[in-house]
């Protein structure tokens, strides 16, 4: 297996991060610093990162997690705010698939496999993200409908966004929003551009995986046999 893929599948980092570690001279195979992410390694190889031995890659695992509001999707926050990795009930080497910002909640996929996380996030994979969004302000349904053509805000191009008004009151409305890309704070930025203040964002689904009846703060593992068919590379040789 290629060393960059080995590190990624060990759940330590993404493949891109692995390539950076190798370029920085942080990775040794059988006592030698390597310089190529394509270096082939055997199961019995001695592999160290920052002179620390690593375990062999485990079988890919995938969890559904209901991220509550008020948690960051990062391992360390300079401001000392709470993170999902502190709140989770286990200490696996895990990676979050994408992120939800501090005040957003709902479905977050977790995995021990960097290659699997990368596949979920790649635009070419085509997995859509689904959200329930509460907004305040006057709705312009024509402008909302035109988001299906994409929109450019402050020089940033956002892809197709589908919006359905599911409930409307005197001062607020609930929207069902489908994203094709999921750029940083995309929903908040686009709605603010349309004069709408976002009060709540809840992710309901990510690609084929749904939040369902999972409660805030709860996490459940998906059996390998249930999710593996969504990832063609799992059945390919390394």
Residues labelled catalytic:
101
Burial class (CB in 10 A: 0-12, 13-18, 19+), 203: buried
Q: What is the Cα 166 distance to its own chain's centre?
A: 26
Residue of 137, 162, 151 lying closest to 189 (CA atoms): 151
Contact 215, 66 (CB under 8 A): yes
Which residue shows structure tokens 């059988």?
30
Residue 93, classified by CB atoms within 10 Å of its CB into exposed (0-12), middle (13-18) or buried (19+), is middle
Closest CA to 106 of 163, 64, 152: 64
- CA 84 to CA 102: how far, in whole Å? 10
């Amino acid at each position: 297996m290629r060393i960059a893929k080995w590190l990624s599948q060990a759940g330590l980092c993404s493949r891109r991060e692995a390539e950076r570690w190798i370029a920085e001279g942080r990775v040794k195979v059988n006592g030698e610093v390597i310089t190529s992410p394509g270096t082939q390694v055997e199961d019995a190889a001695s592999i160290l990162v920052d002179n620390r031995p690593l375990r062999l890659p485990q079988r890919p695992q995938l969890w559904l997690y209901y991220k509550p509001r008020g948690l960051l999707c990062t391992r360390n926050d300079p401001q000392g705010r709470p993170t999902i990795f502190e709140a989770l009930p286990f200490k696996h080497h895990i990676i979050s698939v994408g992120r939800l910002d501090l005040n957003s909640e709902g479905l977050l996929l977790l995995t021990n496999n960097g290659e699997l996380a990368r596949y979920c996030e790649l635009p070419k994979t085509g997995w859509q993200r689904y959200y329930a969004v509460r907004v305040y302000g006057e709705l312009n349904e024509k402008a909302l409908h035109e988001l299906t053509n994409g929109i450019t805000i402050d020089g940033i191009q956002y892809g197709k966004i589908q919006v359905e008004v599911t409930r409307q009151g005197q001062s607020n409305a609930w929207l069902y929003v489908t994203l094709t890309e999921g750029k940083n704070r995309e929903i908040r930025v686009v709605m603010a551009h349309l004069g709408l203040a976002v009060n709540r964002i809840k992710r309901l689904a990510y690609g084929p995986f749904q939040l369902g009846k999972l409660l805030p703060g709860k996490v459940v593992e998906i059996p390998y046999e249930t999710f593996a068919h969504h990832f063609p590379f799992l059945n390919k040789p390394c």
